[in-house]
Every structure is written in C-alpha cells, then in structure tokens.
Structure 1
Amino acid sequence: MYKKLRIAGMMSGTSMDSLDCCICDIQINKKNMILDFKIIDKMIFPFSQETIDEIRSCVYNDSNCLDRLDIYLGKIFLNLSQKFISQFKVDYISIHGQTVIHIDKVKSIQLGNPKFLNEFFKVPIIYNFREKDIKNGGNGAPLAPFLDWLILKEHKKNYLTINLGGISNISFIAKKGSIESVYGFDVGPGMSLIDEYTNLKWGERFDKDARFSLNGVINHKLLNYLMKTSFILKPPPKSTGRNDFGVKFVKEVGKIFPNVNPKDILRTFVNFTSKAIKLNIEKYILQYHKIDKIIVSGGGINHPLLISDLKKDLDFKFEDILDYGVHSKFKECLLMIVLGYARINEIPSNIPNVTGSGKNIVLGDIYES
C-alpha cells in the first residue's frame, strides 16, 4: 500500500468563475490500484469580477499577461483558500492553476504561482500537470479519465462519463478494468459558448435555469453550420479550450448569422453542445463498444435545457456521480488530489490512449522552498 495522505486540492476550470477546494484523505493500493478516499470538507470560492476580468483579458486579449497574471492568481488562490485550508493539517496541496492557453501538442499554460501557497502553509505544492505529456508528444489533456478509471474500474460495467465544464469531455471505462482500454477526449464546448453568448448579449455570467435559451428555438441552418466545425469532426486523441470555443467563436457566429434572433442563437448553441457530444459518442465509442451506464458531471448539469437535450439525443438514463462518492462540482478538485498523490508516489497518471503521448508519464512538478 502507498502511504495514506491528507491532500488539499484546488481547481479553477475553463468556466473561469471560481476556485474549488476540497480536503481529502487518500490512499491507493499499490498492487491493484484500488482507490480509497474520503472527502473531509469542500468549499467553492467565487472569483470577484475583477479576477474574472483579469483572466478573460489574458485569455482573449493580452499576450503579455502571463508573468503578471501568474503572480496575481498565486496570491488570489492563497487569499481565497487560506482560512479554509488552515483548519486542517494537510501533507500536500495540489493545484491545477487557471488555463489561459491550450493548443494540442504545442503548449498548455496554467497560471497561479505556487510559491505563495508554499510560503504560507509550509507544505509542498504539486502543480503543472500537463507539460510533461505534451513534451512526450501528447495533448496534455484530458486528465480526468485517470480518475474515472480509478473510481469505476471495479464496477464490472461499461461506463461512459460526460463532464460538462466550460469544455465537454468524455471517458469510456470498459468493465474489464484495464487502463489500456480507457478512452477519453474533449468533445467540444460544454458551457463555454452558452456562457460567452449570454454574457455578450445580456451581460449575465451564465444562462441561469436556461432563462434566455428556453425562449428561443433551434435554428437548423445555424446548427448545420456549427456541426461542421472542424474540431467536432476531428478524430481523437484531441483536446481544446476557450481559444477554440470562446468569445471569438460566438462573435464570428453573430457576424455570419446577423439576422437570427439572439435567443434562437443561444438555444442553438445549447443544442449544438448536445449534438456534438452525441456525434462523438456514436462515432468513436458506440461503433466499438456497448455502453451500460452513463454518468454526467460538471457545472453543465445545472442547465436544465442542456440536460434535457442530452437525454433526448442519447436516449439514456443518466446516473449521478454522487452515487460513486463524488460531488459533481468537486470531481475535478478530487482529480487534482489524485494526480498529486500519483506524483508523490511516482505513479504514471497520463493515459497514452487518451492524450496521444508516446509513453506513460508521472505528471506534475513539486514546488517546495
């Protein structure tokens, strides 16, 4: 058995709206890779509008922002989390950082300098989980299939997981449990286009309870155009980000379809998100495997219209990740803890079948003063 550890995990995803933190006791059986974990506490820290604006400016406009934002976010992560984490004696802190650039097989940059957390808490910080995979020919993403495999491999069913963050990604975990049989890839937009367009047209950060999209109708000419997006049709391994499905994308759609009602455009973005997931599942999973169960997680589960579209398109009953011991909002936070634990114990945590990397790699760096 690897040693039992208490790790704090911190995640700021492609939704760019909050820092999610959780404290977890974790241990992995060295012989059979069975994961044992207990989430002790968890907390969401919404970003201020100033922080959101700083991140968005770096993602979309300011190519000279990286060093400055790295320091800024490092301090923000500490300020938000210090009172919460200080309640617990943790052995390590594992952070993802805020993705500002992601280009398949080229680079993936996450910001949030770890030195501030290290100086305050006096524990090693594990970070930078994507770089080594990219250096070995991979995409550096997605990372979630490793956690999905650990959680689901003992259940003797063929599982498909769908994560609806800013970007949507899927994992297929075969019932035989072999990590070599795991498939996973980014599909396309999750909530990114819905959120970006809602912000652009109505000044709201997200389409809460589908309040705008429910009043629109699907424009099939626009939908057909969207379904021809090259990334959606691209075979895996593949990964993406807001560089592909962000504000530039929605503005371009507005220029090409200037006479379509904004609520109809938003409604079509919702359906496009669902249809893109359906197409990729049918083309790259169902052609080769039977799916027994589907688990959906991520912030997108709170968008009733997107979930309704997905249920119709996939014609499947969805299971709750909570039934497997993981709160949907904190799944990626737990992923950081698992990846951090793997780094500490020198366990390879990328999956070449998923990222396209040339070999199995121990991901992440350790920062300690």
Structure 2
Amino acid sequence: MDIVRTAIGLMSGTSMDGIDVALLRTDGRGFIERGPFLGIAYDGGFRERLKRALDLARPLTDRAARPDELRQIEIELTQRHADAVTAFLEKFGLRSGDVDVLGFHGQTVLHRPDDGLTIQIGDGALLAERSGIPVVYDMRANDMAHGGQGAPLVPAYHAALAGRFQKDGQRVCFVNIGGISNLTYIGAEGRIAAFDSGPGNTLIDQWVEMQTGKTYDPGGEIAGRGQVVAEIAARYLGSPFFQGNIRRSLDRGDFKPLADGEASLEDGARTLAHVAAASIVKSASYLPERPSVFIVCGGGRLNGTIMAEFADMAGKNGSRVMSAEEAGFDGDAMEAEAWAYLAVRSLEGLPLTYPGTTGVSQPVSGGVLVEPAK
C-alpha cells in the first residue's frame, strides 16, 4: 500500500517577489489532496539582496561554492523560509510534527544548462534545524548529472493533475507564467513533453521597476494603455531560442531587459506582454500535438493584457485558454504544491524528471534529504 505523507512545498521563483508555501497530502503518485496556501512577500531590501546574489553567482563554476557575501545571503534566505514555515503552521493551526517533509526549492541564482551547471542557494540542513521538519532540497542536480537541463521540474505534478481533463481525447497543456514561462503537455495517452517557453514576467517587472519604482504591472493595467512596438517585439521573438527543435531551459538573464528610452512606459509594458504571450504560442508549436486546452498558472495569469493576447493567439489555432482557477486549481499555489509533491516522490525514489521534460537520459529521481538534529 502506498504511503500518504503530509508535505509542505516552498517556492521562491525567478520573479524574486516572495515565498509561496503550500501543503499537500500525497503518496507521490495519483493521490493528491490539496491543502492551504500562504504567500509571503519579500521586502524591497531583501529583493535587492537577491539581485546582488545573481551578480555574485555569475562568475562561479562550482555549484557548491558560496563566497562570503553569497553565503550570508543564503543564510538570510533560509531563515526567511524557516520563518515562513512557522507563520504557515501558526496560521493554519498545525505543528511541526504534523508535517512529514518540506520540499525546499531555494533560490536559483545561476542556471547554465549547456555547461551542466545550476546553482540554487538555500541551506537544507539549516532549514531542517530551524523548522524541526525533514527537508528535501537540491532537486535539480541529479537530473543535470544524467544529461538533463535541470528544468522544468513541475511537469511530474502537472501530469498527476491532468487526468480529469483528458476525457474525450483532450490534449492538455499547463502553462506556468512566472519570471520565465514553461509548458507541460500531457497527451491523450499520457505522453509528457515539457520545456521552458520564453520570458514571462521578468522583462515586464524589470521595465516597470526601472520606469516607476513599482515591482510589477498590477493586472497588466500599464500594458493595457500602450501599443506594441513591432521592432522591439521582433527582436525578442527572433531570438535563437525559438529556432530549431532542441528545447533548452532558460536563465533569468538569457533575455536582456529593455534599455531606458527605447519606448514609453506603456508601450514598453505592452510590447513585453505581447512577447510573453507570443513566446508561449511559438514554443507550443514544438509540442507533439496542438493542445486542446491551455491551463495557465503563475503570476502572469493575473496580467489581463498577457492573458487577452494569449487567448486570442491560441484561439486562432483552435485552442482554448483558461486560468488555473477556472480549471479548479489555485494558480498561486501550484508551484509550491509541486515542490511538496516532488519531495514525497524523492522520498519514494520515484522519478522527478523524464527524457521528455528535461532531456535527461532516463527517468531519474533526485533531491537530498536532511533530518533535523535530535
């Protein structure tokens, strides 16, 4: 009989806007019982510290290296995750003993799949000590050691959720629009294909912050007042990333931000929203079949301009677009839930990644388990 565990997933993504905390009861296979969710925003000062971590990591070639300042940021990040777990348990009336495992993503500060290098800061042992709960972390490394891109990892969870939409031969594609967007396609016979699809929120966030000091475009309101600058859109969409059949995972820095003065605030935001939507459609053309339905999660689903563009483009290809909420899910919680699910799969030695998701040579498990000191 499969063991059902209670897991908490912790996610801090490429948007660097905060920590997502979600609880899941699962056997790491087909049984999934979704629990509560809590989002905890980073303050502006710590977001700047994380941006500094990207600069500090850029010259590294050893994934275990933590030069002094980067190590300090790692400790700060880990403590904030421990505090987030405490806040979550208190809010929902839970104790540490009620939770079997934490799935800890950490913060990606460098991702160079072509060099077999990925670095996520976050001290799993320190988190286990501070929380009193076993922790599974560093879930990307084993995939890369077996020839994979180290991303995306969420498809295993998407595949588990997709069954209810696969009646009548529907072909489902989950779209996560975070800092970077990614796709998970699940065909009618359960075939999985997944890859990063292009820039999501990162370029828009960078542009709006540079122009206004705000960290994002709420609801896509700024973009909604602008016009697409065709030359800028063509430059992004003409990237070599979109050419050829070999898909690769992306680093936050792979698409350069707009330079100050290239466009008005509104036109820049509108153009980058267009790029975010068009990137998904261009990359979806490499899927085995055209999806019947796209289910959108991540922060980008709240940007009305991105969603309107995406729905229009997909509709012309005969596909339907719906938000995670329309599909019965929580679009904010899905990535954190995935990390809880993956932690349980790791404990069971089940695959986290597959040749069709990361390009790994064979299905592989991964993650490092650390227990709190007794």
Task: Select which of 243, 248, 260 maps to 2:253.
Answer: 243
The answer to whether the 8 A contact 2:57-2:110 is kept is no
The answer to whether the 8 A contact 1:339-1:363 is kept is no
Task: Select which of 89, 93, 96 maps to 2:102.
Answer: 93
2:132 is matched with: 122
**Distance verdict in 2 for CA 1:263–1:60, change over 3 Å:** farther
**Distance verdict in 2 for CA 1:259–1:191, change over 3 Å:** closer
- Pairing 1:193–2:206 present: no
Partner SS state of residue 20, structure 2: strand
Aligned partners of 1:166 and 1:325: how far apart in 2? Answer: 23
* 1:325 Cα offset (Å): 4.9
Partner SS state of residue 218, structure 1: coil
2:273 is matched with: 270
* 1:140 Cα offset (Å): 0.3
Q: For 1:220-250, what per-residue CA distance to the aligned partner results, in whole angstroms no more than 9, with x for missing partners?
A: 12222221112233533311021213xxx11
The answer to whether the 8 A contact 1:299-1:329 is kept is yes
Q: Which amino acid aligns with 1:70?
A: E
- Pairing 1:47–2:22 present: no
Aligned partners of 1:340 and 1:362: how far apart in 2? Answer: 10
* 1:146 Cα offset (Å): 0.9
Partner SS state of residue 212, structure 1: helix
The answer to whether the 8 A contact 1:8-1:85 is kept is no
Aligned partners of 1:312 and 1:43: how far apart in 2? Answer: 32
* 1:49 Cα offset (Å): 1.4
Structure 2: gaps (5+ residues): 59-66
Q: Which amino acid aligns with 1:8?
A: I
Aligned partners of 1:75 and 1:186: how far apart in 2? Answer: 30
Partner SS state of residue 194, structure 1: helix
- Pairing 1:163–2:172 present: no
1:306 is matched with: 306
2:282 is matched with: 279
Q: For 1:109-148, what per-residue CA distance to the aligned partner results, in whole angstroms no more than 9, with x for missing partners?
A: 1112122331133321000010011111110001111111
Q: For 1:315-340, what per-residue CA distance to the aligned partner results, in whole angstroms no more than 9, with x for missing partners?
A: 14323434655311000011101110
Aligned partners of 1:49 and 1:11: how far apart in 2? Answer: 18
Partner SS state of residue 216, structure 1: coil
- Pairing 1:56–2:48 present: no
1:110 is matched with: 120
Aligned partners of 1:93 and 1:62: how far apart in 2? Answer: 25
Aligned partners of 1:68 and 1:18: how far apart in 2? Answer: 18
- Pairing 1:361–2:360 present: no
Count of residue pairs brought into register by the alignment = 351
Q: Which amino acid aligns with 1:254?
A: A
Q: Which amino acid aligns with 1:271?
A: H
Q: CA RMSD in A?
A: 1.9
Aligned partners of 1:138 and 1:83: how far apart in 2? Answer: 35
- Pairing 1:36–2:45 present: no
* 1:266 Cα offset (Å): 2.1
Q: Which amino acid aligns with 1:73?
A: L
Matches within 5 A, 1:249-260: 249-250=256-257, 253-254=258-259, 258=261, 260=263
2:70 is matched with: 66
* 1:259 Cα offset (Å): 5.2
Q: Which amino acid aligns with 1:263?
A: E
The answer to whether the 8 A contact 1:198-1:205 is kept is yes
- Pairing 1:75–2:64 present: no
Q: Which amino acid aligns with 2:178?
A: G
* TM-score under structure 1 length normalisation: 0.90
The answer to whether the 8 A contact 2:24-2:341 is kept is no
Aligned partners of 2:24 and 2:354: how far apart in 1? Answer: 24
Bigger CA drift: 296-305 or 310-319?
Answer: 310-319
* TM-score under structure 2 length normalisation: 0.88
2:19 is matched with: 19
2:185 is matched with: 172
Matches within 5 A, 1:308-323: 308-315=308-315, 316-322=319-325
